Structure 1
Amino acid sequence: MTTAETASGATPGTRRVTIEYCTQCRWLPRAAWLAQELLTTFEAELDELALKPGTGGVFVVRVGDEVVWDRREQGFPEPMAVKRAVRDRVAPGRTLGHSERIP
């Protein structure tokens, strides 16, 4: 393992999540709630989570520079879908517990 890697295999750039949200649409509460969910789930795996104000109906989640969710293409995300996308990049192979199980 190089010094640029963590125990999870993620590089430092992939340990940063950005949620860009539309200020015109008043989506800050939704972005803040999703941020809380991600920080609670990945408190040991993430180095940083940023909320980035935007306009024009934007709601995009990025891990590093990679877009993992874009409202324009995929609609508003369920938290579990975003958690899976983030997990796959920052903690591959990690289980998300009971909420990930199929009934």
Structure 2
Amino acid sequence: MTSREPRLEIEYCTQCRWLMRAAWTAQELLTTFTTDLGEVALVPGVGGVFEVRLGAETIWSRKAEGGFPEPAQLKRLIRDRIAPGRSLGHSDGHKSGTVSGSRAESDG
């Protein structure tokens, strides 16, 4: 099996039951970056981990950042690395890193 580039990994804590949060995050990213991402992998972990990695680079770490990423913020971070000239539409308008009505805030 060959790896498709760029490869994005979402490592989530199985002890914390964050699979649904990780899956929802993956769905959001795959919907936004339909042809820009080669692969999105969900990686089971332990110890409160929730990390988003693009190749060897950690884009978001729950422990380092003190919480979970807002979807628009995460999309901007990824876009800046894989498609810098691309517009994200409404996600570009929320420079504070918050999105009202975020479903990811309700789980976990």
Q: Mark yes or no: TM-score above 0.5.
A: yes
1:25 equivalent in alignment to 2:16? yes
1:59 equivalent in alignment to 2:50? yes
CA contact 2:4–2:39 (8 Å) conserved in 1 = no
Percent identity between the two aligned chains: 62
* Counterpart Cα distance in 1 of 2:76 and 2:29: 10
- What are structure 2's unaligned runs of at least 5 residues? 96-108
* Counterpart Cα distance in 1 of 2:16 and 2:73: 22
TM-score scaled to structure 1, two decimals?
0.83
- What are structure 1's unaligned runs of at least 5 residues? 1-11
Compute the RMSD of aligned alpha carbons. 1.8
Runs of 4+ in 1 over 3 A off after TM superposition: none
> How many correspondences in the alignment?
92
Q: What's the offset of the Cα at 1:13?
A: 7.5
CA contact 2:13–2:48 (8 Å) conserved in 1 = yes
Name the counterpart of 1:85: 77
CA contact 1:15–1:64 (8 Å) conserved in 2 = yes
Name the counterpart of 1:8: none
| Letter paired with 2:73 | A
CA contact 1:17–1:63 (8 Å) conserved in 2 = yes
Q: What's the offset of the Cα at 1:99?
A: 2.7
Cα displacement string for residues 60-102 of structure 1 (whole angstroms, at most 9, x for unaligned residues): 0001110000000111110111111111111112110123215
